């Protein structure tokens, strides 16, 4: 197998046995990027010299140390371009931050560096993470490695495509309404969205602060547990991060789910969903039953409201968060004839159409006279949605659903119809509204050879149960071992 196709844990074993060096591994991934990224276009910024320097440091550290090394020492990873990286451009896929170079690292980036990881570069994203296809990037769309005419999903589409295409061994993404899980599903990789507050958001450029969370994209569940263990934990610099001990998530990888209760919500098998997706997910539920899980039908009665609630709250929070881009402090500045003109020109030229749509929707929902009818009402319904999950998790340990109602769609297919695009996250949004955790793992392919994702959700801080079920499923199947045919 090519070095760039290894999982993190496979690479770790070879590195520790001295069979490969971090420099060889990093060079193999950089060569792979050179071969395929002109087609896939997963990266906005590449940092090859820095990566090789970090790889040399990792090799040196290993040479001086006895015993087991940090699981990420010398492992080449990619970072979604909404996470601040000191000295390296961080654009959020937006013209307004095109030339922004942060003076500091996001806590998650600092943690990866402290663990000895090699940082390859910054991956493409929908502008300010608003989107489900990476087509809202101000720079270029990323393509799906399984079919270059199709989208990789979004907004962490660059990270998902990079993992699928062998352009990194794992990546960080962010998930506000599905942006780690949906692209993971569409690219045939694993995507974990942790509980709200489990991972520090310090240095994550804010989209919707009550929903945003950093997650990981990897080739299998073991790698997700490894990477997540490194980034999880309390951070005094993020007041929303939880001061709760971090367990060893790899301890969840037992393969044993006998007696675990798996909920299947009847509201998640909707008309209009691609029949192959439904069939694959139902087959996956059967597999879990074969492995000894008890399958229980549950109800999440307010599911239908998740989409409208999300599209009131997320734009409302975004409209406030994005007020800081005024052309005065950082980012793009287009000087006008007055201060107000400078604001208008800067924002008018700096933001793309979807971001402007969200700012307008959000400002409207928050404005005097409409606040009670829209924003406040949406907050109340959010509480009902959370209540649905609280009740369901009294009966079951995890809930299993499709991740996305369809497999990867064609580039351009949904760009003219925002509602169609928004529907791509119909199964992922509720989890963010409820603040709970979940994962998407590969569970099959449609007739056109496009990957299908299975979503496993758990309660707040229920990542151990989620990883346990996901791993047991993965052990019983080989979907995660398939790789797209690209440039070979």
Catalytic residues: 80, 155, 179
Closest CB to ligand GLN among residues 388, 425: 425
Are 432 and 401 within 8 A, CB to CB? no
**Does the protein bind ligand GLN through residue 229 (CB under 6 A)?**
no
**Does the protein bind ligand GLN through residue 317 (CB under 6 A)?**
no
Question: If DSSP codes are grouped into helix, strand and coil, which group holds residue 183?
Answer: helix
Q: Which stretch binds ligand GLN (CB under 6 A): 8-16, 96-104, 130-138, 339-347?
A: 130-138
Q: Which residues contact 361 (CB under 8 A, 6 or more apart)?
A: 311, 312, 315, 316, 319
Interaction mask 232-251, ligand GLN, x per CB under 6 A: --------------------
Closest CB to ligand GLN among residues 254, 420: 420
Closest distance to ligand GLN from the beta carbon of 375 (Å): 17
Query: Binder to ligand GLN among 85, 94, 159, 176 (CB under 6 A)?
Result: 176
Closest distance to ligand GLN from the beta carbon of 200 (Å): 17
Measure the CA angle with vertex 330, ends 103 and 114; round to 5°. Answer: 20
**Segment 181 to 210, residues that bind ligand GLN, using CB under 6 A:** 207
| CA 184/CA 155 separation, integer angstroms | 10
Closest distance to ligand GLN from the beta carbon of 406 (Å): 14
**Does the protein bind ligand GLN through residue 7 (CB under 6 A)?**
no
**Does the protein bind ligand GLN through residue 321 (CB under 6 A)?**
no
> What are the C-alpha distances in Å from 400 to residues 119, 281, 338?
33, 8, 55
Residue 154: which of 427, 408, 358 has the closest Cα? 408
**Does the protein bind ligand GLN through residue 406 (CB under 6 A)?**
no
- Give me the phi and psi of 408, to 5 degrees please: -55, 130
Helix or strand run (H / E) with residue 265: strand 261-265
Q: Which stretch binds ligand GLN (CB under 6 A): 172-180, 403-411, 450-458, 475-483?
A: 172-180
Beta 398-402 vs 261-265: how paired, if at all? Answer: parallel
Closest distance to ligand GLN from the beta carbon of 480 (Å): 23
Closest CB to ligand GLN among residues 178, 442: 178
Encoding tokens for residue 174?
């962010």
**Does the protein bind ligand GLN through residue 155 (CB under 6 A)?**
yes
Q: Which stretch binds ligand GLN (CB under 6 A): 124-132, 282-290, 321-329, 476-484?
A: 124-132
| CA 189/CA 428 separation, integer angstroms | 16
**Does the protein bind ligand GLN through residue 217 (CB under 6 A)?**
no
Residue 111: which of 17, 199, 8, 20 has the closest Cα? 199
**Does the protein bind ligand GLN through residue 130 (CB under 6 A)?**
yes
Query: Binder to ligand GLN among 131, 183, 331, 352 (CB under 6 A)?
Result: 131
> What are the C-alpha distances in Å from 159 to residues 314, 385, 396?
22, 29, 32
Closest CB to ligand GLN among residues 10, 238: 238
Residue 450: which of 112, 152, 132, 37 has the closest Cα? 152
Q: What letter does residue 313 receive in the DSSP assignment?
A: H
Q: Which residues contact 296 (CB under 8 A, 6 or more apart)?
A: 261, 262, 263, 264, 395, 396
Interaction mask 328-347, ligand GLN, x per CB under 6 A: --------------------
**Segment 297 to 316, residues that bind ligand GLN, using CB under 6 A:** 314
Query: Binder to ligand GLN among 135, 223, 425, 463 (CB under 6 A)?
Result: 425
Measure CA 441 to chain center. 12
Query: Binder to ligand GLN among 37, 81, 105, 175 (CB under 6 A)?
Result: 175
Q: Which stretch binds ligand GLN (CB under 6 A): 6-14, 125-133, 293-301, 330-338?
A: 125-133
Q: Which residues contact 207 (CB under 8 A, 6 or more apart)?
A: 82, 128, 129, 130, 174, 176, 314, 317, 318, 321
> What are the C-alpha distances in Å from 440 to residues 91, 184, 227, 385, 487?
27, 7, 15, 21, 26
Query: Binder to ligand GLN among 145, 158, 178, 350 (CB under 6 A)?
Result: 178
The footprint of ligand GLN (CB under 6 A) covers: 129-132, 155, 175-179, 207, 314, 425
């Amino acid at each position: 197998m090519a070095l760039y196709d290894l999982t993190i844990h496979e690479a770790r074993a070879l590195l520790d046995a001295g069979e490969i060096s971090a420099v060889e591994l990093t060079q193999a991934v950089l060569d792979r990027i050179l071969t395929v990224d002109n087609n896939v276009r997963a990266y906005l910024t590449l940092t090859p010299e820095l990566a090789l320097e970090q790889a040399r440091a990792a090799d040196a550290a290993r040479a001086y140390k006895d015993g087991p090394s940090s699981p990420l020492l010398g492992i080449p990873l990619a970072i979604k371009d909404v996470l601040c990286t000191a000295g390296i451009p961080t654009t959020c896929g937006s013209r307004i931050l095109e030339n922004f170079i942060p003076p500091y690292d996001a806590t998650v980036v600092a943690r990866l560096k402290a663990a000895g990881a090699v940082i390859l570069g910054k991956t493409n994203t929908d502008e300010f993470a608003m989107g489900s296809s990476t087509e809202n990037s101000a720079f270029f769309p990323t393509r799906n490695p399984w079919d270059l005419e199709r989208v990789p999903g979004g907004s962490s589409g660059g990270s998902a495509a990079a993992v699928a295409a062998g352009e990194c061994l794992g990546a960080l993404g962010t998930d506000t309404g599905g942006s780690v899980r949906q692209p993971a599903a569409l690219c045939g990789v694993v995507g974990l969205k942790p509980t709200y507050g489990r991972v520090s958001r310090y240095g994550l450029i804010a989209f919707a602060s009550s929903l945003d969370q950093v997650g990981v994209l990897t080739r299998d569940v073991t790698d997700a547990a490894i990477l997540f263990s490194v980034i999880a934990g309390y951070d005094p610099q993020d007041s929303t991060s939880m001061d709760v001990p971090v367990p060893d998530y790899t301890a969840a990888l037992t393969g044993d789910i006998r007696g675990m209760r798996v909920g299947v919500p009847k509201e998640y098998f909707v008309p209009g969903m691609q029949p192959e997706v439904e069939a694959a997910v139902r087959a996956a539920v059967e597999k879990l039953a074969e492995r000894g899980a008890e399958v229980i039908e549950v109800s999440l009665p307010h599911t239908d409201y998740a989409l409208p609630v999300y599209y009131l709250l997320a734009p409302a929070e975004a409209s406030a968060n994005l007020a800081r881009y005024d052309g005065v402090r950082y980012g793009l500045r287009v000087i006008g004839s007055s201060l107000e003109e400078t604001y208008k020109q800067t924002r008018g030229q700096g933001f793309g159409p979807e971001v402007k749509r969200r700012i307008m929707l959000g400002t409207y929902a928050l404005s005097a006279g409409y606040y009670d009818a829209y924003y406040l009402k949406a907050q109340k319904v959010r509480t009902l949605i959370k209540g649905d999950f609280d009740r369901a998790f009294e009966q079951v340990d995890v809930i299993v659903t499709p991740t996305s109602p369809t497999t990867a769609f064609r580039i351009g297919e949904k760009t003219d119809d925002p509602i169609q695009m928004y529907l791509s996250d119909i199964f992922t949004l509720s989890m963010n509204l409820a603040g709970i955790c979940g994962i998407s793992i590969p569970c099959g392919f449609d007739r056109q050879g496009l990957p299908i994702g299975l979503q496993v959700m758990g309660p707040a801080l229920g990542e151990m149960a989620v990883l346990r079920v996901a791993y047991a499923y993965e052990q019983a199947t080989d979907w995660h071992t398939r790789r797209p045919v690209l440039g070979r």
